[in-house]
Amino acid sequence: MPPCRLGLKIFCIVMALGAAGASRAAGDAARGKPLAYTCLGCHGIEDYKNVYPTYSVPRLVGQQPDYIVAALKEYKSSDRSHGTMHAQAATLSDQDMEDIAAYMAGTPLKSIGSVIGTPPAKVAQLCVACHNKDGVAASGEYPSLSGQHADYLARTLEEYKRGDRKNAVMATFVTQLTATDIRQIADYYAQQKPALQTLERRSSLFSAKN
């Protein structure tokens, strides 16, 4: 195998992740539904905001279930620092996470092979191997970004930069992004289709929609 450097770097990381993420049992969405009840208090309300600092709660419908499980494990272990999500994930077993992910994600997004607008140069150079030009995940371990809230995407990139999210792969790529790049990339991916969506919470006393 050739050495992992220069242009081969991204390829090598992709191969290493692919090998590590192979084969996982699918979750049971029916079991996940009641477990996800409290989650919808935030993730089930369109445009719901985290407070201090203020940014949008991420959309999960259409996301990759394997990625949702990985994210929950990172909140549980505090590789991602977020007090509320740590508390939410701390009591979940691996099976709970699989089942909740199957319920909340629904059918993962599939690329339709076209983009809206022109991808920023750094997207083409650095991001497409895993997130594609349209933001639809290249495989299950990666998050889809298309249609995600722009302010949430920008926030996460800043967190990888600061080390508040500890992820070796993303840490490598964000070092190459300026504040302007982050804004442009977040806006670009947020407007792509097919888009991630919010799982609307049904029959709530507090929701005007139901």
Dist CA 2 CA 105 (whole Å): 37
Residue 103 interacts with ligand HEC (CB under 6 A)?
no
- Contact between 14 and ligand HEC by CB under 6 A: the answer reads yes
66 binds ligand HEC (CB under 6 A): no
Q: Which of 153, 184, 198, 199 binds ligand HEC (CB under 6 A)?
A: 153
Segment near ligand HEC (CB under 6 A); pick from 22-30, 84-92, 111-119, 198-206: 84-92
Helix (H) / strand (E) element for 8: namely helix 8-20
- Closest by alpha carbon to 191, among 141, 119, 127, 131? 119
Q: Which of residues 31, 33, 86, 122 is near ligand HEC by CB under 6 A?
A: 122
Is residue 29 within the footprint of ligand HEC (CB under 6 A)?
no
What is the closest distance, in whole angstroms, from the C-beta atom of residue 114 to ligand HEC in the complex? Answer: 19
Q: Which is nearer to ligand HEC, 37 or 112 (CB)?
A: 37
Q: How far is the CB of 41 from ligand HEC (least distance, A)?
A: 5
Residue 198 in the binding site for ligand HEC (CB under 6 A)? no
Tell me: cis bond preceding 2? Omega within 30 of 0 counts.
no
Tokens at 113, concatenated: 């092979």
CB distance 58 to 47 below 8 Å: no
- Phi/psi for 83 (5° steps) reads -55, -50
φ/ψ of residue 88, rounded to 5: -65, -40
Measured from the CB atom, the residue of 90 and 112 that comes closer to ligand HEC is 90
Contacts of residues 75-84 at CB distance under 8 Å and 24 or more positions apart, as own/partner, are: 79/165, 79/166, 79/167, 80/159, 80/164, 80/165, 80/166, 81/159, 81/164, 81/165, 84/42, 84/50
When binding is defined by CB under 6 A, the residue of 64, 111, 132, 156 that contacts ligand HEC is: 156
Residues within the interface to ligand HEC (CB under 6 A): 10, 13-14, 36, 38-39, 41-43, 50, 57-58, 60, 68, 70-72, 74, 80, 82, 84-85, 88, 100, 122, 126-127, 129-131, 141-143, 145, 153, 155-157, 165, 167, 169-170, 173, 177, 185
